[in-house]
Amino acid sequence: MALRVQDLKVHYRTLRGDVHALDGVTFSVADGEIMGLVGESGSGKTTLGKSLIRMDSRMRHVGGTVTLDGTELPIGDTEAMNAFRFSDVSIVPQYAMSAMNPTRRIGKMVRELVESRKIRFSSVRDELNRRLDLVGLDRGVLDRYPLELSGGMKQRMVMVISTLLNPSLLIADEVTSALDVSTQRAVALALAGFRDHDLVRSMIVITHDVSLVYQIADTITVMYAGRLAESAPTDTLVSTPRHPYTQLLISALPEVGVRYGGKRLTGIAGSPPTLLDPPSGCRFRARCPLAFDRCAEQPPFVEIADNHRVACWKAV
Amino acid sequence: MLRLTGVSKTYRTGAFGRGTTDAVRDVSFEVRPGEVTSLIGESGSGKSTIGRMVLRLTRPTSGTVTFEGTDVARLSGAGLKEYYRHVQGVFQDPFSTYNPIFRADRVFAMIRQSYFPRVRDDEWRERVAEAVASVNLNPDLVLGKYPHQLSGGQLQRLLVARALLLDLRLLVADEIISMLDASTRIDVLNLLADLKERGLAVLFVTHDLSLGNYLSDQTVILRHGAVVERGATEKVFGDPRHPYTRTLLASVPRLGTRWEDLPVPSSGIHECATPLDEVEEGHFVACFDTDGVHHGRKSESV
C-alpha cells in the first residue's frame, strides 16, 4: 500500500477563527494507482494536496496520520518533511507555468535543484534527457529560459523536474486547467505516461473536471466541503454514482453532443457551506434533494461495494 | 443584425512597433436575433479581440463591423451611447469586475446615472428587482450584498441583469463561464439560452467546445486569428470537415469516451489566403490537406 491517509484534519488559521478545510479524510492510494481527486472550489482538494507535501504558514495539522510506504510522514513539521520532498513525495503545482526561476536557464536551474539534494547532476543527466524525450520536449530546452517556452512546454518541463528522482507519490494539482484543449490532451497523457513507465509509483491528480480524470485515472474520489463524499473505480463512479452530490455534478456536465434544446441540464441549487463554522451532519444536506431527518447526523464514509465508498445515509 | 465583413486587426509589437502581429485575419460572419453564435478558439485565436471590436473597445485595422446597418467604428458621442444601450458585454472574471469596497448593486446605480437619470426611485427599484428576478436570482437575497458575499455565478448573473436594464439586443459574453464551478456554470448557460428565447442575440466567446455546443445555433471556429470552419452548430460539430476542428473535438475530455478511442488526425492544416469554401448550405470550411490531397479552393502559394 503506497499511501494511507487516516482521519486527516487540517485547519486554516484566520482572524475570524479556524477554517475546517480538511475535516477527517481517510483514503489510500495503491501502488501504480492514479487517483483523481475532484471537487468544486473550496472543497479542500488543494489543501489535501498541499498537506501531503508542504503546509503553508496558515495551515495547521490538527489530527490524523499520513503513511507512505510504511513510513509516517511528519506533515506538520516543515523541517522534517524536507527529507521526503522531491525524493519521496513530489508535486506539480497549480500554475506550474510560473514555477520556474525566470532568471536561470532551465538546465542550470535543474542542476541547482538536484545538487541541493546532494545528488550529482551528472548522475541524472542521462535520465533527464530520456524523460524530455518521453514528454516530447526537445533537449535544447535546457539551454533556454522559461520565458522562451509555451505554456504546454513549461507544464511538461515542470513535470519532468518534479518526477526526476522517481517519487513514490506525485501530486498533480490542476495541471491542465490553464492549457488549451489540444495541449491539455498531450499533457494529461504525458502525466499518465510517467506512471506507465514506472517513474512515479502512484499519483493524485487534483482537478475540478471529472471528464479529465475519467481519461487518465484508475479511481476517482469526490470531495465536498472538506470531506470525502464518494470514491470508486473510475467507470463505477461515472456510470453508477451513489452520492447525490456526485450524481448532480455529473448530470450538470454539458457534453459534446448534448444540446440545450434537446436536454436542458440543471445545476445544483445553493452553494457550499462556509467552513469557518461548518454545519453539523451531512454537509451537502442543505442542497440535497434526498435529504431527510437522519442527515442531521454525519454519515460515515463506508464501503458499499468493492472499493466503492460513499458518505450518504441513502446509499448505505 | 450584427455583421462582420473582412475584419482584421494588426497589432504593432516589438521595440518601437517594428514588428506586427495579425490578431484577427479577414473574419466575416453574422449574428442574428434570437440566436447564440459561439466563437470558439484556443488562446491566441483572436476570439476575444473580435468580442472587443464588436464592443468597440478596439477598432479593426480593416474591414467593418456593422450593427443594424451602422458602421460601429464611426459611432461617437450620443450615437455611441445609444449603441451601448443595445449592445453590452460580460467578461471572464466576475470577481475583478466589481469594486470590493462597494455593494454589488452599485453596478445598477451606474446604469441609472448614465441612461435613466429621470426615472423615479420607486420605479427604478421595481425595474432592478425585475431584472434581477429575470436572471433567476432572488432580489431579497442578493441586493445590498458586497461582492465577497456572493458566489461567482451570482455575480456573473447580476452583470447580465445590469445589461438587461437597458434595451439590450446583443450580449457579448466573453468566457463568462470559465471561472465558475461545474455546479453553477450550467445555470449561467441556461440563462443565456433564456435570453435567446426572448429574441436577444448572444455572441458567446469560449475555448470550451462542449459549452459552445450545448448552447449555440451558429459556431465559428477560429485558429490563429482566421476562421477555419463555420456554420450551423449541428453541421460543424456533427460533420466536422477541417482537421483542426476534428483535432479539437478529439481532444476535449468527455465522459463515456476514452481518448484512445478518439484518434487525433495527423495534421492537414494548410494555410491559404483564399475565401472559405461552402461545402454545404451554410457550412463554410477553410482549405486543408488530407493524405497530400488539397481540399478547398485553389490556393496561391503560402
Highest mean pLDDT among A150-154, A206-210, A309-313, B290-294: A309-313
- What is the Cα–Cα distance from A167 to B69, expressed in whole angstroms? 63
Q: Mean pLDDT across chain A, nearest whole number? A: 91
A184, A188, A248: residue with CB nearest B183: A248
Answer yes or no: is pLDDT of A3 > 80: yes
Give A142 to chain B, closest Cα distance, Å: 25
Q: Per-residue pLDDT tens for B100-114?
A: 999 998 999 989 999
Query: A185 near B246, Cβ under 8 Å?
Result: no
Chain B contact present for A215, CB below 8 A: yes
Whole-number mean pLDDT of chain B? 88
Domain boundaries, chain A: 1-88+220-254+266-315
**pLDDT reported for residue B293:** 73
pLDDT higher than 90, residue B264 = no
pLDDT tens-digit map of B117-165: 999 999 999 999 999 988 888 888 889 889 988 888 889 989 999 999 9
Q: Which residues contact A107 (CB under 8 A, 6 or more apart)?
A: A142, A143
Q: Tell me: the pLDDT tens digits for A233-280?
A: 999 999 999 999 999 999 888 776 667 666 788 888 877 888 888 889
**What structural domains and CATH numbers belong to chain B?**
2-238 (3.40.50.300), 240-302 (no CATH)
Query: Which member of B43, B185, B189 has the closest CB to residue A180?
Result: B43
Write the pLDDT tens digit of every residue in B58-111.
Answer: 999 999 999 999 999 999 999 999 999 999 999 988 888 899 999 998 999 989
pLDDT over threshold 70, residue A1: no
Residue pair B126/B154 in contact by the 8 Å Cβ criterion: no
Whether residue B239 is predicted with pLDDT greater than 70 in this model: the reply is yes
- Region A1-88+220-254+266-315: CATH code: 3.40.50.300
- The separation between CA B42 and the C-alpha centre of its own chain, rounded to angstroms, equals 13
Residue B300 has pLDDT above 50, yes or no: no
Q: Is A47 exposed, middle or buried (0-12, 13-18, 19+ CB in 10 A)?
A: buried
What mean pLDDT do residues B229-248 have? 92
| Residues contacting residue A193 through CB under 8 Å, at least 6 positions apart | A134, A135
Which of A181, A254, A256 is opposite residue B42, by nearest beta carbon? A181
pLDDT number for residue B299: 46
pTM, rounded to two decimals? 0.87
State the pLDDT at residue A262. 64
pLDDT at A247: 93
Tell me which chain B residue has its CA closest to the CA of residue A184.
Answer: B251
- Residue B205: name the closest of B191, B221, B194, B193 by CA: B221
Q: Does residue B302 have a pLDDT over 70? A: no
Q: Return the amino acid letter for B98.
A: Y
Which chain B residues are closer than 8 Å to A286 by Cβ? none
Question: Which residues share a beta bridge with A177?
Answer: none
